[in-house]
Amino acid sequence: MNTEYLENLDMIARTARDFAEKNIRPYMMDWDEKQIFPTELFHQLGEMGFMGILVPEEYGGSGLSYDEYVMILDEISQVDPSVGLSIAAHNSLCTHHIYEFGNEEQRRKWLPLLASGQIIGAWGLTEHNTGSDSGGMNTTAVRDGDEWIINGAKNFITHAVSGKIAVVMARTGEKDSRNNSTAFVLEKGMPGFSSGKKENKLGMRASETAELVFDHVRVPDANRLGDVGEGFKQAMKVLDGGRISIAALSLGIARGAYKAALQYSKERHQFGKAINSFQAINFMLADMATEIDAAELLIKRASHLKNLKKKMTKEGAMAKLYASEACVRIANNALQIFGGYGYTKDFPAEKYYRDAKLCTIGEGTSEIQRLVIGREISR
């Protein structure tokens, strides 16, 4: 990388860091305690260019690469992973799906609104009885002339309440058959399209998660993304890039927890000296620092391939698997270093600990990542 590009990356990182310190850190515990989704914050993030990071400038986006995207998610997530998660879901899932698979009319209709943060997007694949087994989804779309009638529900959907539009995969073929789903853009206000139960979560509490409900929703065929039957294939390609975003989110959590624990270990004294001078604590910190660097390198490799538009299914899954599991270990060790104080909400360790676990579940569990990696290396 040339010097100018590195300086630009550093400037973007400082911008994200300063924004998070000023606009997120003072309020994050209140948002967490009350499960407040800070809608106005995301309008501000849109003005910063952080809601359309990967969207080309011609559609109102920032036109940046995955290098900048990872850096922004890392910096924001060090302060509040909930906000990082929502940025990731908005950019990687809803917005990127429309950019990748929408036609020119669809791109010009929705991308400027999403990239500017004027509206927040949701993405619906998971259902109550079909998480990883999305081929057996129960949400259906039946064609009726120039419209489709959609019935069913999606759950664990980020921005299901506040999102003004949602990209939804609905079954248009037989269960468990090939090419049996299609992607549609649904807009709030369509009769029969509503939000259901909001989840009361362990962590990531300021990132809204709820149901999407479809009761005979009539959707114009003009809102269909790509060909009939291509929804699942589209979703898998979208998730390839989404894995990088969750890996970056994991990296931010890990780095935030590590920095907090390192600082505390220098300030906390026992037996007349700082606790980081004890080998047990020092070795924990050494492992944490090593895992952070390893995760970052895996993410950079996947990002580089994605920037080149090369296949990166295996590399993305490896980055997501390692970074997410490392962040859980690091958050756990950080809390241990804080001791009893780590278990209280007056110190940052407990929130990193609660937020970290989602990263091994969302956008494909660790088990699914291993399945993907195993399949790719066995070809």
List the catalytic residues. Answer: 363
Tell me which residue has tokens 């989110």.
Answer: 249
Are residues 245 and 88 in contact, defined by beta-carbon separation less than 8 angstroms? Answer: yes
Other Cβ atoms less than 10 A from the Cβ of 194: the count is 16
Of 127, 135, 114, the C-alpha closest to 185 is 114
CA-only gyration radius of the chain, Å = 21
Alpha-helical segments (H) within the chain:
3-23, 28-34, 39-48, 66-79, 81-88, 96-101, 104-115, 231-267, 279-307, 313-338, 349-356, 366-377
Q: Is 201 exposed, middle or buried (0-12, 13-18, 19+ CB in 10 A)?
A: middle
Are residues 56 and 63 in contact, defined by beta-carbon separation less than 8 angstroms? Answer: yes
Of 331, 327, 332, the C-alpha closest to 362 is 327
Burial 291-318 (b: 16+ CB within 10 A, else e): bbeebbebbeebbebbeeeeebbbbbbb
Report how far apart the first and last C-alpha atoms of the chain are (Å, whole number): 33
Are residues 337 and 258 in contact, defined by beta-carbon separation less than 8 angstroms? Answer: no
298 vs 206: CA distance, rounded Å:
28
DSSP class of 199: P
Could you give phi then psi for residue 186, rounded to 5 degrees? -110, 140
DSSP class of 165: E
